[in-house]
Amino acid sequence: GAVVSQHPSRVICKSGTSVKIECRSLDFQATTMFWYRQFPKQSLMLMATSNEGSKATYEQGVEKDKFLINHASLTLSTLTVTSAHPEDSSFYICSAKGGGHSQPQHFGDGTRLSIL
């Protein structure tokens, strides 16, 4: 149980393109979803937290107009990187958790984004 599907797994696109990444919880209802970014050999960096039906809470330094997050249902959240530039190239990972603070976050497989 507790499967999280994330796609696409890899995106290569030109600078200025907007890229949408989907994150789905397949067998549980995700009351909260998280979006992380990870650069090579570095730790996870939380970008934002989203609760179903609410606006996402962004971490300091993360531009909400550049990284649009939608959490329209209990099983789906999307991250759109708008007008992506080479410095946005990174490994983006979503996670989801169900009710209860002791429940762990379950991660999707990540999306490797490369902006040319």
Partner 1 sequence: GQNIDQPTEMTATEGAIVQINCTYQTSGFNGLFWYQQHAGEAPTFLSYNVLDGLEEKGRFSSFLSRSKGYSYLLLKELQMKDSASYLCAVMDSNYQLIWGAGTKLIIKP
Residues near partner 1 (CB under 8 A) = 2, 6, 42-44, 46, 91, 93, 95, 101-102, 104-110, 112
Rg of the chain on CA atoms, in Å = 13
Q: What's the burial of 98, exposed, middle or buried (CB within 10 Å: 0-12/13-18/19+)? A: middle
In the complex, the smallest distance separating the C-beta of residue 34 from partner 1, rounded to whole angstroms, is: 8
d(CA 51, CA 74): 8
In the complex, the smallest distance separating the C-beta of residue 16 from partner 1, rounded to whole angstroms, is: 27
In the complex, the smallest distance separating the C-beta of residue 29 from partner 1, rounded to whole angstroms, is: 17
Q: Between 17 and 105, name the residue whose CB sits nearer to partner 1.
A: 105
